Structure 1
Amino acid sequence: MNKEIAPSPQKAALSNNQNTSSLLTDLRALFKAPVLIANVLPVFSGFWLALYFTGTSFIEHWPLFLLTMIGSTLVMAGALIINNWYDVDIDTIMDRTKHRPTVTGNISLKVVLAMGISLSIIGFIFLLFTTFEAVIYAFIGWFVYVVLYTMWSKRKYTLNTVIGSVSGAVTPLIGWTAIESGFHLVPIVLFLILFIFQMPHTFAIAMKKHKEYEAAKVAMLPVVYGFEMTKRQMVIYIACLLPLPFFLASLGTVFMVIATLINLGWLAVSISGFFTKDDMKWAQVNFLYSVNYITILFVMMVIVTLPIFN
């Protein structure tokens, strides 16, 4: 009679570690972790700047800060997960997305949809304990991304990038309005910076992955109108960023100078696209510049308003 041999404790532990690692990888892909983190930073910056301009203490408002950050993060995570659920057919075709758990089947689509809806609802509940205005902006971002972008425009119109950019641009308004009304020059300028930035940023990604978008029949600008049109639009959008730091003069000369320099640097990179022989390399440089650009800008807003600098 054959006896079943139990696995050694070492092999069992290794198997558990592999399963845990696989689950974490799947969740990271499902939540689109880099995108989520990139959207959380402007929420924090908006909250911090609202405290600064209203002369309010962070320590006094740390419970409100936690509610704002947790709530907005969950709402955004919910929207990103629903996007994964809806786009599973596209993700199956594209190389950069074919390892997502919705495609591999590691997490069922029913579970994914339930997660997306649940996290969104829980996030809105958290935000209800902040201000109604913060909830409004969070809902605008969620609705635009899930309904107007993911379910309506992404597959049909090149304007999908313009529409989708609204959802990312409202993030600092969520943080700001948890403290103060959004009818203030600073959060409006932050909205404009994020809205305009996302256009060339997304176009750079679309150029890099244009063959995949074409195969998936997603109406991205480089796919429909080609690289030359995309390059021209990138230059125009980046040029539109140039005057915006001057509307944030209240953040100080150091901020305005650095922001202007990195704007000019990005404009120079974008103009060089008309003379490049390697569009893919140029698009990659543009993408990396855009990621560092927005990170530096929003981190710098916090740094220059720290008490030690004032």
Structure 2
Amino acid sequence: MSKEGSLISKNAEISGVYTMESNRTTLAGDIKELFKLIVLISNVVPVFAGFWLAIYFTGSTLAAHLDALILTIAGSTLVMSGALILNNWFDVDIDRKMARTQNRPTVTGNFSLKAVLWAGIILSAAGMGLLLFTTFEAALYAFVGWFVYVYLYTMWSKRRFTLNTVIGSVSGAVTPLIGWAAIEPASHIVPIMLALILFIWQIPHTFVIAIRKYDEYKAAGVPMLPVVHGFEITKRQIVIYIACLLPLPFYLASLGTVFIVFVSALNFGWLIFAIRGLFGKDDLKWANKMFLFSVNYLMFVFLLAIVVTM
């Protein structure tokens, strides 16, 4: 073979390797976008926390319920994945108009909408099936969360009402109940209060996102609170909801003084930060900081609940 032919062959080989690597990177990115990986992880942590705390308060051990743990985490992850995928499938027209969602494979066309629809249905059904091998109550909470997120939030309220945020918050709130109910009925004060914390937390967290992405939601015609009623009303609502978190740690005295003190400090810090936003002039800068605080708040609360009971 001539030197020129060797070079052509070598370049083709290198080009093929780059293409394969590029395809792998694109596929991984598409899957991450489709499953909303960060959202998925933030929902699985409270499931595990609920499961762990149920074991702690029943005086059992993780080893004794290892099979239930695997079924609970796998089942809840599949159900939530299915719900998130169905959200992407239904919202493809909105996602085309929003910069932060234009890379989703449903928008780019990398995944067909039919395939996405079936993936959402199959994963949801498979997750429900696995959870039924734990307890019916755990599967019931998962179904409630799925139904609220897919139908009541995505398909019904998101495009109609500013209350879509409150409605959607129910779906995230069931996660610690799923984990706890896999061990015993979730009528205990601990899973109920953790669910309430999650429910309330999601509302100011989502309002802050809506302020940060105001232009995108407005362009897509999604009636988020700041789009319909403006920033001032939204900021006042954020303050009110965060204030509602203040008494909740005291209902979790069974988790110990350390938990109460640290979570109360977080609540007061978040509230002061929110109040400052009422008098600030740079709403976007404030919203970005509030967003970071709220994300870390959630992970800290549930990880702390696990740590203090180890």
Band of TM-score, shorter chain? over 0.9
Structure 2: runs of 5 or more not aligned: none
How do residues 258-269 of structure 1 correspond to structure 2 at under 5 angstroms?
258-269=262-273
Partner SS state of residue 93, structure 1: coil
Name the Cα RMSD after superposition.
Answer: 1.0
Is residue 54 from structure 1 mapped to residue 64 from structure 2 by the alignment?
Answer: no
Q: What's 1:136 paired with?
A: 140
How do residues 48-87 of structure 1 correspond to structure 2 at under 5 angstroms?
48-87=52-91
Counterpart pick for 2:152 among 144, 148, 153: 148
With normalisation by structure 1, the TM-score equals 0.96
Matches of 1:299 and 1:182 in 2, distance apart?
A: 19
Q: What's 1:250 paired with?
A: 254
Q: What's 2:214 paired with?
A: 210
Q: What's 2:230 paired with?
A: 226
Matches of 2:263 and 2:88 in 1, distance apart?
A: 34
Q: What's 1:170 paired with?
A: 174
How do residues 281-292 of structure 1 correspond to structure 2 at under 5 angstroms?
281-292=285-296
Matches of 1:280 and 1:36 in 2, distance apart?
A: 26
Matches of 1:66 and 1:13 in 2, distance apart?
A: 38
Is residue 182 from structure 1 mapped to residue 186 from structure 2 by the alignment?
Answer: yes
- Percent identity, aligned pairs only? 63
- Please report how far the alpha carbon of residue 133 of structure 1 lies from its aligned counterpart in structure 2 after TM superposition: 0.1
Partner SS state of residue 155, structure 1: coil
Q: What's 1:11 paired with?
A: 15
What does the per-residue CA deviation read over 1:183-237, in whole Å, with 9 as the maximum and x for residues that have no partner? Answer: 1111110110000000000000000111111111101000011111101110000
**Letter of the 1:299 counterpart:** L
- Please report how far the alpha carbon of residue 274 of structure 1 lies from its aligned counterpart in structure 2 after TM superposition: 1.1
- Please report how far the alpha carbon of residue 275 of structure 1 lies from its aligned counterpart in structure 2 after TM superposition: 1.2
- Please report how far the alpha carbon of residue 61 of structure 1 lies from its aligned counterpart in structure 2 after TM superposition: 0.6
With normalisation by structure 2, the TM-score equals 0.96
Matches of 1:48 and 1:9 in 2, distance apart?
A: 51
Partner SS state of residue 100, structure 2: coil
Structure 1: runs of 5 or more not aligned: none
Matches of 2:133 and 2:12 in 1, distance apart?
A: 51
Matches of 1:53 and 1:13 in 2, distance apart?
A: 54
